[in-house]
Amino acid sequence: MTRSDLVDRWFALTRDEMPGIAGQRDWPVRFDHCFQRILLDNAVGAKWSGEIPAPAYRHASDDTLERAIALGRGAIDGTEDLVALNRNSLAWRDKR
């Protein structure tokens, strides 16, 4: 898979797929930038902007994007808890 394919998958997941099904799930967020925050934070295990220069899609390693995508796919499939992932993200940001 090329870098361009990986970035395309990232945006399809976070801009289209996840927001498109958010209303059907008990998810705490609905917007693309929220999904991106949650997935990237959990992929790096910290506030992503402390680890990756913005824009993240351009500067994140392929491995980081792949981990973030896998977390998002897991949330869709029910093998990852998006509520817990959001809690992690907010804690790394000293919120809640």
Name the phi and psi angles at 39, rounded to 5: -70, -45
The candidate with the shortest Cα–Cα distance to 16, out of 32, 39, 33, 34, is 32
Q: Is residue 39 pLDDT above 90, yes or no?
A: yes
Q: Is residue 16 pLDDT above 90, yes or no?
A: yes
Return the pLDDT at 1: 86
Q: Is residue 17 pLDDT above 90, yes or no?
A: yes
Question: Residue with structure tokens 């917007």?
Answer: 31
- Residues 34-54, mean pLDDT to the nearest whole number: 98
Return the pLDDT at 6: 98
State how far the alpha carbon of 8 is from the alpha carbons of 11, 14, 47, 48, 66, in Å. 5, 10, 23, 20, 12
Return the pLDDT at 32: 98
Express each pLDDT in 45-90 by its tens digit: 999 999 999 999 999 999 999 999 999 999 999 999 999 999 999 9
- The mean pLDDT of the chain is 97
